[in-house]
Structure 1
Amino acid sequence: MTSPGTAHTARTFPAERDTTVSLRCAGRTVGRYTYRPELPDRLSPRPYLHPLTTLGGTPVTAFMPDDHGHHLGVSMAVPDVDGRNFWGGRTYVPGQGPTELDNHGVQTHRGWLLRDPDGFVEELSWRADGRELLRERRTVAVRLFADDCWALDFTSAITNASGRELSIGSPATNGRPGAGYGGFFWRTPAAAGQARVFTADADGEDGVHGRTADWLALSGAGWTLVFAGATGDTRADPWFVRTAEYAGVGSSLAWAHRLPIGQGETVTRRIATAVADGRLGRDEAASLVHRLTEGGV
């Protein structure tokens, strides 16, 4: 994918008539990105990647599963932006627990800076209560690793456009221990208890959840995902991991403390993910990490 120059401005392609973009790798369609979703307000409508598959055609994303209807494949989902919910579902209220509130925001597609079969650069607006809180530049690209492995590179640069300082939080920062989710999140189709998760030196949900690691692997029936933080700030964020209740991985922006963003300031995170056929072991997963994070896409 050709990198966009700084002189580009967001635009809408004249031929654009639908609400999705297909992603192709080595001549094969490996995913679809829905950038103008039609979703209920309580799901915090936002663009998402689904379905994504391995090169062999095995699904690696789940969309609106019965256990968590607000899990939308792969998305940027944040439960607390200045008190507004961009995650979907209930909001954790101190002293009250998860509660249905009328506080859902929406991520709105503004235009493309670049759109190719192997990726795109998009501008989005995060809005709630009729006003813009954040402006985002999102870069998504795919590349081939091998006959049985491709990589998804996802960069989110979020700028505070509210006109004042705001902060990002999570249920954990609001009093729910261990629930520091919010940021890049990937929900997989694995059944509860079916997935295996590991890092370079730890295994299992209890061993990796809430901890930092340069990379983390999650495998299910016939597939493996290897997630790697591609910047120092991203590697400093703890991983949010579930395998017992369901299978999903996220990179947490506000694990234990709220993340302040001054007016006009930008927070950037980049996650590169290898999508492989088969169940990889630790050595096989580790061998992919350097290739995932070297250079750009």
Structure 2
Amino acid sequence: MSAPTVLRCAGRPVAHYVLRRATGPGRSPRPYLHPVSTLGGVTVTEQLPADHPHHLGAGVAVPDVAGFNFWGGRTFVRGRGPTVLDNHGVQRHEGFRRRDHGGFVAELSWVAGGRVLLRERRTVSAVPLDDTAWALDLAFSLTNASSEKLSFGSPATNGRPGAAYGGFFWRAPRETAAPDVFGPDAEGERTVHGARADWVALTGRDWTLVFAGATEETRRDPWFVRAAAYPGVGSSLASQERLALAAGATAVRRVVTVVADGRLDRDGAAALVRKAVTA
């Protein structure tokens, strides 16, 4: 087992990048970030929670790539619902192109069915913002490594409305009370979920996460938000229809996440997003 890569910000460890593959039935092994913490030391990610044991901190996961599951858990099948299938893929860490305490550039292969479907380049940086906040800048490019067109899907495109998860995903820790959710001009899980907004915030007991799409293409993806059932925020690569990727073509996304101590209000969240995206 390789030791995690530790990201530091303002001289403090704030994130661990884990290469260990998740084991057990219904898992889709992949590298991920956990624990991620505020500058004050509050952990703001969760791994292998009892409610969704395939959730792994912060990273990239897709439930349907050409019918293969790179998310974990059951696969939503039209007309059957969530179904246990032997269709789980693996994200293999192939090496680092660059790595230091401020971040890294990693190369990955997405493997399923005995072949490499996708090649990924993942770039992660820890960016200082102020004395109580920093930002995790995560960009990923997925290149179709096969000789044929591939498409990305989600439970939503397969018949389950409101479940368009797949892409960037951050599983936050469960607390006694559900976190509050808001966006630039919206309040509450029902309003923010599925919206196309520049950013969305999740606030817990003593922490705030603000997720911002950092490119035009990323901002066109709707947000996937959960608060009442469990705390998590992600992007939606395939919300209403499948995302097709021709052989050799590349899809690129970038999400910058503000990680702050305390509970930010809307103005505070917006100010830190502006600083983080332009840093």
TM-score class, shorter-chain normalisation, is over 0.9
1:20-35 matches, within 5 Å, as: 20-35=4-19
**Which of 146, 153, 156 is the equivalent residue of 1:162?**
146
Residues 126 and 133 in structure 1, CA contact (< 8 A), matched pair in contact too: yes
Q: Percent identity?
A: 60
Give unpaired runs (5+ residues) of structure 1: 1-16
Residues 48 and 55 in structure 2, CA contact (< 8 A), matched pair in contact too: yes
**Which of 184, 208, 211 is the equivalent residue of 1:200?**
184
Residues 36 and 109 in structure 1, CA contact (< 8 A), matched pair in contact too: no
Residue identity opposite 1:56 in structure 2:
G
C-alpha separation in 2, matches of 1:187 and 1:114: 26
Deviation at 1:278, TM superposition (A): 0.1
1:240-268: CA deviation from partner (whole Å, max 9, x where unpaired): 00001011000110011100000000000
C-alpha separation in 2, matches of 1:204 and 1:161: 40
TM-score (norm 2): 0.98
Q: Equivalent residue for 1:214? A: 198
* 2:217 counterpart SS class: helix
Residue identity opposite 1:188 in structure 2:
A
Residue identity opposite 1:105 in structure 2:
G
Deviation at 1:37, TM superposition (A): 2.3
C-alpha separation in 2, matches of 1:223 and 1:37: 28
C-alpha separation in 1, matches of 2:52 and 2:59: 14
Give unpaired runs (5+ residues) of structure 2: none
Deviation at 1:101, TM superposition (A): 0.2
Q: CA 1:271 to 1:21, structure 2 compared with 1: closer, same or farther past 3 Å?
A: same
1:40-92: CA deviation from partner (whole Å, max 9, x where unpaired): 35210000100011000011001111100010000201000000000000000
Q: Equivalent residue for 2:56? A: 72
Q: Equivalent residue for 1:234? A: 218
**Which of 21, 41, 44 is the equivalent residue of 1:57?**
41
Q: Equivalent residue for 1:5? A: none
Judge which range, 79-88 or 31-40, deviates more: 31-40
Residues 73 and 187 in structure 1, CA contact (< 8 A), matched pair in contact too: yes
Residues 127 and 276 in structure 2, CA contact (< 8 A), matched pair in contact too: no
Q: Equivalent residue for 1:6? A: none
Deviation at 1:112, TM superposition (A): 0.8
Residue identity opposite 1:147 in structure 2:
D
C-alpha separation in 2, matches of 1:229 and 1:140: 15
Deviation at 1:192, TM superposition (A): 6.7
1:110-146: CA deviation from partner (whole Å, max 9, x where unpaired): 1111001110000000000110000000000001111
C-alpha separation in 2, matches of 1:19 and 1:29: 14
Q: Equivalent residue for 1:276? A: 260
C-alpha separation in 1, matches of 2:203 and 2:188: 11
Q: Equivalent residue for 1:181? A: 165
1:129-174: CA deviation from partner (whole Å, max 9, x where unpaired): 1100000000000011111101100000000001110100000000
Residues 192 and 247 in structure 1, CA contact (< 8 A), matched pair in contact too: no
Judge which range, 100-109 or 34-43, deviates more: 34-43
Q: CA RMSD in A?
A: 1.1
1:247-258 matches, within 5 Å, as: 247-258=231-242
Judge which range, 86-95 or 40-49, deviates more: 40-49
